[in-house]
């Protein structure tokens, strides 16, 4: 939707909290049910905490019961990339932001079937939330229409 270049830089990394650093730079996982956005119901846009790259819309957030923010899909053109993850003796699909290469979480095939069947299980520490009424002032006005069409928030 935009031609802004999103990337990682030293100043952005220096602003991260220890938890944000561990999650985005070292692929850590924050505790379930003890993170900022797992139970958030506000309409808006979730962006990469490192680069500000738009990633997920509240319209695609739902309550999966897992204790982390869950989304049925990234926003179109977000650049969320998937990588094979073989840590802990499991085969999973890791999701990262394309611009800053931030670790976001994982995607699983146990999401709502009517919405495509995927569950993007994302660490709150990898995200910054931009409320609907602040989209324009923060430079994300192009995403307003996709968020305003959200009238259900899918229980999120």
How does pLDDT run across 9-64, given as a tens digit for each residue? 999 999 999 999 999 999 999 999 999 999 999 999 999 999 999 999 999 999 99
52 φ/ψ sector (left φ>0, alpha ψ -120 to 50, else beta):
left
Catalytic residue among 121, 125, 127, 156: 121
Paired strand residues for 120: 71, 107
Confidence of residue 92 (pLDDT cuts 50, 70, 90): confident
Which residue has tokens 């969320």? 80
Percent of the chain with pLDDT over 90: 78
User: What is the C-alpha separation between 78 and 35, in angstroms, rounded?
Assistant: 23
Q: Is the pTM of this model over 0.95?
A: no
Q: What is the DSSP string of 93-156?
A: EEEEETTT--EEEEEES-S-GGGTS-EEEE-GGGEEEEEGGGTTTTT-GGGHHHHHT-SSGGG-
pLDDT value of residue 151: 47
Active site residue 66: no
Q: Give all domains of the chain, ordered by start, each with its CATH number.
A: 10-150 (2.170.150.20)
Average pLDDT over the chain, rounded to whole?
A: 91
**What are the residues whose beta carbons fall under 8 Å from the beta carbon of 87, sequence distance 6 or more?**
27
pLDDT value of residue 89: 79
């Amino acid at each position: 939707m935009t031609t802004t270049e999103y990337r990682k830089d030293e100043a952005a990394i220096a602003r991260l909290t220890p938890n944000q650093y561990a999650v985005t730079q070292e692929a850590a996982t924050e505790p379930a049910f003890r993170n900022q956005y797992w139970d958030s119901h506000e309409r808006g846009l979730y962006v990469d905490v490192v680069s500000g790259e738009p990633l997920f819309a509240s319209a695609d957030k739902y309550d999966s019961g897992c204790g982390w923010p869950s989304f049925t899909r990234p926003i179109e053109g977000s650049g969320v990339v998937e990588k094979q993850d073989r840590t802990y003796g499991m085969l999973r699909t890791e999701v990262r932001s394309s611009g800053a290469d931030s670790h976001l979480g994982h995607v699983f095939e146990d999401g709502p079937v009517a919405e495509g069947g995927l569950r993007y299980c994302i660490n709150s520490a990898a995200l910054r939330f931009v409320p609907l009424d602040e989209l324009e002032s923060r430079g994300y006005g192009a995403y307003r229409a996709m968020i305003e069409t959200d009238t259900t928030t899918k229980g999120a």
